[in-house]
A and B are shown apart, each in its own frame.
Chain A
């Protein structure tokens, strides 16, 4: 069964604007972690941000923030003040604290337009 769903195959955003990348997840575990990774065209996987299921506040890392809505099982990534270098694939992932596995979504391709 699919654990992570990213419904936006491709997104466009104007430079300096904010953009939200959607992610929903499915788990029955009481404790889990949510992650976002960036994959530029060069192919490497770059960790962006982490949110624990028991964290009371939304995680932030520089221009990245995670809009965590536990009841809706969503963990959307918000990128503020988009830059040309933000053009990449973005993957949402979930780690189950009981299953030892890491599940990835199918990704969203973001293009920043100058």
Chain B
């Protein structure tokens, strides 16, 4: 079991560029989420999914898109990167509402 994997680990973008952060899990979990972590602010939910084909917005969704075509994959797309999106991004998955989340190793994104 690889658990939750994320690629890339590090990324530098210029303002206005777009990119996709990849996330995959091999635990057959229905629930998947994307978070961003900024100093002093904990983890904030960007988007989440409760199953293939179902996504919803979290606390800070602006500037990001997601899709969930398979149970395993949950990519996060930055449409037009801005310096305010400089952050560490975590993908997570869990089996159900009463279960702990398993986190990927994170992607450190810098937008210049």
Contact = CB atoms under 8 A, between A and B. Distances in A.
B74 interface: no
Contacts of A95: 97-98
Contacts, number: 53
Interface stretch (A11-19, A65-73, A76-84, A102-110): A102-110
Contacts of A100: 31, 48, 50, 56, 97
Contacts of A106: 40-42
A102 to B, nearest CB: 6
How many chain B residues sit at the interface, stated as a range, is 20 to 34
Interface in A89-114: 91, 93, 95-97, 100-107
B40 A47 contact: no
Contact of B42 (A43, A50, A97, A107): A107
Interface string A21-45: 0000000000001010000000111
A96 B92 CA distance: 16
Tell me if A's interface is mostly helix, strand, loop or mixed.
Answer: strand
B33 interface: yes
Contacts of B48: 100-102
A106 to B, nearest CB: 4
A47 B101 CA distance: 8
B33 to A, nearest CB: 6
A97 B98 contact: yes
B38 to A, nearest CB: 10
B100 A47 contact: yes
19 contacts: A35-B100, A35-B101, A43-B88, A43-B105, A45-B103, A47-B101, A50-B99, A50-B100, A95-B97, A95-B98, A96-B97, A100-B48, A100-B50, A101-B48, A101-B58, A102-B45, A102-B92, A102-B101, A104-B43
Interface of B: 31, 33, 35, 40-45, 48, 50, 56, 58, 88, 90, 92, 97-103, 105-106
Interface of A: 4, 33, 35, 43-45, 47, 50, 52, 91, 93, 95-97, 100-107
